[in-house]
Structure 1
Amino acid sequence: MRRGLAVGVTAVAFLLAACGGEPEEFSGIELDQPYAAPTVELTDTDGLPYSIAADNDKPLTLVFFGYTHCPDVCPLVMNNIAAGLNRLDESDRDDVAMVFVTTDPERDDEQVLRAYLDGYGKDFIGLTGDLADIIAAGDPLHLYVNDGKKLPTGGYDLGGHSTYVLGIDDHDEATVIWNQETSATEFASDIHTLLSED
């Protein structure tokens, strides 16, 4: 299995202005060769089939693979996404969907996902399903998902999943990735920039 995200990218500097904390430049990484959004159907928190490629018509969709029992990286990323979206004006916010795909479907059923995501955004979309389908959904996005190992304590070691956030445009292509250190301010600025280019 892949052990990371192999990308051909154009590096973009991560710079902040001296005053105000506003990013001077685009903070994400723009993909030279965009990835196709996955067509595989998973299950949303209403129990309905959902395909990232087919069932979303927003100009921009943020996609993050994680799990609700994640102790560190996932809450950090999700908090920054939520805070970044809250910084947008209403017209920009209406043009963005946020999709969270669990990498721990054994524990993250529809109800668990909905309760978790409501803490970040009532309109956030949560997806679960068979682990094989989740891995298949990650493949075209070059996201690594392992199958987890149960620990003697009863928990799971799922540390192998990728921690990137992808931005998928209305042509069903992932054109941007953000790393786990992207701040709320950087998300908001980048999202506004991407939406302004349409």
Structure 2
Amino acid sequence: MRSLLARLSLLLVAALVAGCGADASSAEFNGVRLEQPYGVPDVPLTDTSGASYSLKEDREDALTIVFFGYTHCPDYCPLVMGSLSAAMNHLSEEDRERVNVTFVTTDPARDDEQALRDYLDGYGSEFVGLTGDLERVVELAEPLHIYVADGAELPSGGRDLGGHTTATLAIGEEDEAVALWKQDTSALEYAEDIHALLADD
């Protein structure tokens, strides 16, 4: 009986250690690293200067953080954008020079180039804003597993993501989304993960 109890105790300890190891490992990255990254399609949109811009062809940074939303969003968009803005301030100067944030509107009927620039300047003057035909936005979003078409239609003809897809993506130098975060990720968590992704290069 004592031998059985001893074996059971050892198994319990082993399980607890294994569990702690899993927790420690997951704690190293706050978001989700994608085991099968999402390929970025070559879908040109329009940036806030009026120029054509493709997330696949025109990015210049080692890491691009992408969020799909709209400027009239009352809840998730300002929450995420505020956290990303603060995250940039948590990064070292070296890291900041290698990363940028891109906001893709899901309400292009209202979010023209100037509306996007005015909105983004409240978070970061260097942030990239993209707009264009809604069909093009959907074409970009779908391969990235951002389901714009599933959102509720807005009076303007755009799409409100609402409680649907509010993930933020990290696109690396291989033109693939390699990580994602949920909408309640904190600025410090973003900063830690961005630093980790940059350190992988």
Can you give the 5+ residue segments of structure 1 that lack an aligned partner in the other structure? Answer: 1-12, 16-22
Deviation per CA, 1:11-34: give whole Å up to 9, x if none. xx888xxxxxxx952101011110
| Superimposed CA distance per residue, residues 141-166 of structure 1 (whole angstroms, 9 cap, x where no aligned partner) | 01010374346xx9987126521000
Aligned positions, number: 177
Runs of 4 or more, structure 1, over 2 Å off, are 146-151, 154-157
Q: CA RMSD in A?
A: 2.2
Partner Cα separation in structure 1 for residue 87 and residue 180 of structure 2: 15
In structure 1, distance between residues paired with 2:141 and 2:191:
25
What's the counterpart of residue 80 of structure 1?
Answer: 83
Structure 1 residue 197, shift from structure 2 partner: 1.4
Q: State the structure with more CA Rg.
A: 2
Q: What is aligned with 2:120?
A: 117
Report whether the alignment pairs 1:30 with 2:33. Answer: yes
- Contact 1:27/1:186 (CA < 8 Å) preserved in 2? yes
In structure 2, what is the equivalent of residue 65 of structure 1?
Answer: 68
Give SS of 1:170's match.
coil
Other structure's SS at 2:178 match: strand
Q: Taking structure 1 as reference, are residues 104 and 36 closer, same or farther at Cα in structure 2, changes over 3 Å only? A: same
- The change in CA–CA distance for 1:79 and 1:26 in structure 2 (over 3 A counts) is same
Structure 2: give runs of 5+ residues left out of the alignment. Answer: 1-21
The amino acid that maps onto 2:40 is A
What is the CA distance between 1:38 and its match in structure 2? 2.3
CA distance in 1, matches of 2:124, 2:152: 27
Please say if 1:102 is aligned against 2:129.
no
- Structure 2 length normalisation: TM-score? 0.82
- Cα deviation for residue 89 of structure 1 reads 0.8
| Residue 49 of structure 2, aligned match among 46, 50, 55 | 46
Q: Percent identity?
A: 54
